Amino acid sequence: MQLAYTILYVQNVPSTLEFYQKAFDLKQKMLHESGDYGELDTGQTTLSFSSISLMKELGKKPSSPQRDHPSFEIAFTTDDVSQAFDRALKSGAIPIQKPAEMPWGQVTAYVTDLNGFLIEICTPIKN
């Protein structure tokens, strides 16, 4: 089995796709004509978004993320965390933790997106 995609529930799929394209230089893979579902090309695993209204129509009871109490994070790797962090902030991300080197040698920073999802921006972990 292989992880194919992750779906985050958001109020506005098109604006969320636009944010991720600007903030993290990701490419839009697709946006359904309804505007209720879209995907970003992030490599082997697709990052997807579905509207909260669609999930409610399908009988789901989605909850919104809580900036102060995240239950998970999305992580993007880059060789230049400071540059990526600044780009994300200029695109509307909210800073949570400035870039810092961790004891294990990885540089990490944290922001939240326009929906409140926690995003880690980090260098790849070296083996």
pLDDT, tens digit, 9 for 90 and up, residues 45-71: 899 999 999 999 999 998 888 888 888
Is residue 35 in a domain? yes
Is residue 81 in a domain? yes
Does residue 110 sit in helix, strand or coil? strand
Question: Percent of the chain having pLDDT more than 70?
Answer: 100
Is residue 31 in a domain? yes
Is residue 127 in a domain? no
pLDDT band at 110 (very low <50, low <70, confident <90, very high): very high
CATH number of the CATH domain containing 15? 3.30.720.120
CATH number of the CATH domain containing 106? 3.10.180.10
Q: How many domains does the chain have?
A: 2
Check residue 72 and give its pLDDT. Answer: 87
Check residue 45 and give its pLDDT. Answer: 87
pTM assigned to the model: 0.91
pLDDT, tens digit, 9 for 90 and up, residues 9-38: 999 999 999 999 999 999 999 999 999 999
Task: Compute the radius of gyration of the chain from its Cα atoms.
Answer: 15
**In the sheet where 46-51 sits, what is the strand order?**
5-10, 46-51, 37-41, 27-31
Q: Do 49 and 85 fall into the same domain?
A: no
